[in-house]
Structure 1
Amino acid sequence: MAANKNNPDATDWKILRELQQDARKTYKEIGETVGMTRPAVRERILRLEESGVITGYKAEIDTDALGRALHVMISFKFNSGQKYDKKPNDILIPILRSSSDVIHFWEIYGELDFLIEAAFSSKERMHRFLDDLRSYGFVRSHLIAMSMKGAVQEA
């Protein structure tokens, strides 16, 4: 029997690692790796989905192949002394959602307010986007030189 979402067992972790490597693997392929039958793997994956451990599947995109070679992580912090007509997040989040250059963003706690992943087709386009953000706060950009996928590991 599969463990609950707060305490996955060793087999759940093996299945999760397989899905992180390639979410398009068949139940049979995963079963061969983790030592289970296809129906048993299917049942485990369904339970992991229903419990909220697996929240979705996605396609990985090569930004270079799309002509967006400037892949950037952006650190952002609102200007603390600036007065806004709306809550700051109500201003920034629509800007980030509407930008075709933004891949993903996270609201975070600590020294910064947001981390933003974006990919640009030109330096000029990147410069315009960063200047727009600067009108709301501190911006630091980090050009991504290489990207590697990690995997969640059992604690």
Structure 2
Amino acid sequence: MYMDKLNWAILEELQKNARVSFSEIGRKIGLTSPAVAERVRKMEDAGIINSYKVNLSHQKAGYQLKAIITLRAFTGRLKAFLETVKEFKEVVNCYRITGNENIIMEVVLRDQVHLEKLIDRLITYGETRTHIILSNVIEDAPIRPGL
């Protein structure tokens, strides 16, 4: 599907607020509500728009600690980890990466005790390295054309 400036403008508005009405998007970018709806439907059909999600505040929900944890899997343990990681409720993002480590995870935790318990579970799969997140410099940056 060809992504023109109007489609990118629609995506930018939806990334700011997925609940915004098609008429509001249309007013901002100069299209009618039905035209916006048709373009959104086509982007959904093409798989460009995959889902609409809630962006919640982990901190306000009681998870005061965020961390990045890398894992260097022990020989023969990577496959087992990949099959199990989806069961770790603390893990909000997990990527398989190149380099010395195999995995990088973003995790949310209640406190340091919770972090210690998670690390105890992770070290059965490999060597971990933990980085506590102090703040988010770029908050949910939208995907823009020309990247």
Q: Alignment partner for residue 11 of structure 2, among 12, 16, 23?
A: 16
Q: Which amino acid aligns with 1:36?
A: L
2:57 aligns to what?
62
2:45 aligns to what?
50
Using a 3 Å threshold, how does the CA distance of structure 1 residues 70 and 46 change in structure 2: closer, same or farther?
Answer: same
Q: Deviations over 1:56-110 (max 9, x none)?
A: 111011111111111112122213xx345xxx22x11343222222222222344
Matched, 1:76 2:67: no
1:142 aligns to what?
131
Matches of 2:130 and 2:144, distance apart in 1: 29
CA RMSD of aligned residues (A): 1.6
- TM-score of the aligned structures, taking structure 2 as reference length: 0.89
Q: Which amino acid aligns with 2:140?
A: K
Q: SS state of the match for residue 67, structure 2?
A: strand
Matched, 1:116 2:105: yes
- The farther-off stretch of 126-135 and 8-17 is 126-135
Q: SS state of the match for residue 59, structure 2?
A: coil
Q: Which amino acid aligns with 1:119?
A: V
Q: SS state of the match for residue 116, structure 1?
A: strand
Q: SS state of the match for residue 16, structure 1?
A: helix
**5+ residue gaps in structure 2?**
none
Q: Deviations over 1:19-71 (max 9, x none)?
A: 11111101011111111000000000000000011111110111111111111
Shift, 1:143, TM fit: 1.6
Shift, 1:115, TM fit: 1.9
Matches of 2:125 and 2:97, distance apart in 1: 16
**5+ residue gaps in structure 1?**
none
Q: How many residues align?
A: 144
Matched, 1:34 2:25: no
- TM-score of the aligned structures, taking structure 1 as reference length: 0.84
Q: SS state of the match for residue 141, structure 1?
A: strand
